[in-house]
Amino acid sequence: MVLDANRNLYGASGGGAHNQRMVYTLDSTRKETVLYSFTGGIDGASPVGGLVRDRAGNLYGTTGDGGALGCGAYSNGCGTVFKLVPWVVS
């Protein structure tokens, strides 16, 4: 998990809209917001390892499944490296 200056936590867990896991944020009041739901396709599935957040607020991580096919014995894809860019709602 990653903690920002406003005490928001960022993490990845099971579930999500497509049941391929998701990236979420949990604010200081414990309100959860899903930032991204993986589809299991080219975008990946099953995030592994931790998330990294840069100064601009972008989140980076990896998935163990999804992405390109053709990784030898793996039929669920090769995995991906992803970047989630923050947005501002006005």
Q: For 54-82, what is each residue's pLDDT tens digit? A: 999 999 999 988 888 777 665 678 889 99
DSSP state of 70: -
Return phi, psi of residue 88, to 5°: -115, 125
Checking if the pLDDT of 88 tops 60, the result is no
More confident call, 6 vs 74: 6
Q: Is the pTM of this model over 0.85?
A: no
Domain residues of the chain, as ranges?
2-84
Checking if the pLDDT of 90 tops 50, the result is no
In this prediction, residues 28-52 reach a mean pLDDT of 91
Percent of the chain at pLDDT exceeding 70: 92
